[in-house]
């Protein structure tokens, strides 16, 4: 469903992506792994239109994606950004409502809200609290829940485990799996490679703006290059 071909992007003169091609198929969880500065976040930002590519294409269901972020989400791709980016002065409920901002199907929004509260009971408990008052783990749940409220066909997750306790990380990964089971394809960027390899169907290994390798998690797990990328 998502097809990226020969994507190039740069910050000023610094090239962050140098000809990246990846694919995500219906129903898959795909991981992009790599160390700091490999260009993983840039790749996601270019998909969601925050960054403009200098070359290459981002196609979704055969259609070229708009290059403006607020239009991309309407096409069925939601980007859950790095660092959670909760609206701290909005309540949990209001945060979730922003997720469904472009949707008009009120009845379905209500149903999705109930489903999000089922996945994350903590959010229901805290629905009238300000987003800024949640703990880091709860904020990550809110960020994912808010993304779900957009009713995406593809959710892209940028470092959902960042700065969270191991127990919470496991919980988040379990929920990502559950969301995928319910029919949303996932593209996840992670530094926690071992965790990501446990849940994904396929993975790409990225370094300095190019895809080095791709394959099944069992093939990549023992790959010396992956070890090198993470452990030096």
Query: Where along the sequence are the contacts to another protein (CB under 8 A)?
Result: 48, 50, 69-70, 72-74, 78-79, 81, 84-90, 94, 97-99, 101-102, 130, 132-136, 138-139, 146, 150, 163
* Separation between Cα atoms, residue 7 and residue 43, nearest integer Å: 8
Nearest distance from C-beta of residue 227 to another protein, angstroms: 32
Of 100 and 207, which has the nearer Cβ to another protein? 100
Find the shortest distance in angstroms from Cβ 70 to another protein.
5
CB nearer to another protein: pick between 146 and 195 = 146
User: From the CB of residue 41, how many other CB atoms can be counted at a distance below 10 Å?
Assistant: 19
CB of 208 to another protein, least distance (A): 25
Minimum Å gap between C-beta 3 and another protein is 21
Question: 99 or 209: whose CB is closer to another protein?
Answer: 99
Strand 77-80 and strand 154-158: pairing? parallel
DSSP string, 59-107: EETTEEPPSSHHHHGGGTEEEE-TT----TTSBHHHHHHHHTTT---HH
Task: Decide whether 139 or 207 has the Cβ nearer to another protein.
Answer: 139
Closest approach of another protein to the CB of residue 136, in Å: 4
Local structure of residue 73 (DSSP, 8 states): G
- ∠132-133-134 over CA atoms, to 5°? 95
Residue whose CB is less far from another protein, 163 or 215: 163
Report residue 51 as tokens: 């960054």
The Cα–Cα gap between 170 and 185 comes to 19
Residue with tokens 């379905």: 108
Neighbours of 201 (CB within 10 A): 16
């Amino acid at each position: 469903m998502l097809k990226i071909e020969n994507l190039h992007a740069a910050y000023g003169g610094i090239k962050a992506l140098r000809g990246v091609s990846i694919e995500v198929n219906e129903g898959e969880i795909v991981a992009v792994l790599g160390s700091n500065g490999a260009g993983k976040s840039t790749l996601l930002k270019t998909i969601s239109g925050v960054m403009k590519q200098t070359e290459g294409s981002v196609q979704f269901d055969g259609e070229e994606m708009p290059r403006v972020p607020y239009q991309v989400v309407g096409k069925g791709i939601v980007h859950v950004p790095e660092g959670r980016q909760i609206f701290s002065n909005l309540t949990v409920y209001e945060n979730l409502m922003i997720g469904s901002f472009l949707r008009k199907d009120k009845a379905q929004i209500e149903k999705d809200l109930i489903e999000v509260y089922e996945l994350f009971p903590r959010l229901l408990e805290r629905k009238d609290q300000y987003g800024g008052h949640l703990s880091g783990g709860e904020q990550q749940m809110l960020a994912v829940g808010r993304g779900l409220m957009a009713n995406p066909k593809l959710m892209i997750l940028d470092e959902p485990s960042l700065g969270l306790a191991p127990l919470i990380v496991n919980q988040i990964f379990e929920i990502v799996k559950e969301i995928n089971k319910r029919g949303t394809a996932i593209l996840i960027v992670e530094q926690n490679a071992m965790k990501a390899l446990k849940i994904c169907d396929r993975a790409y290994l990225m370094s300095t703006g190019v895809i080095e390798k791709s394959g099944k998690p069992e093939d990549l797990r023992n790959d010396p290059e992956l070890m090198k990328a993470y452990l030096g």
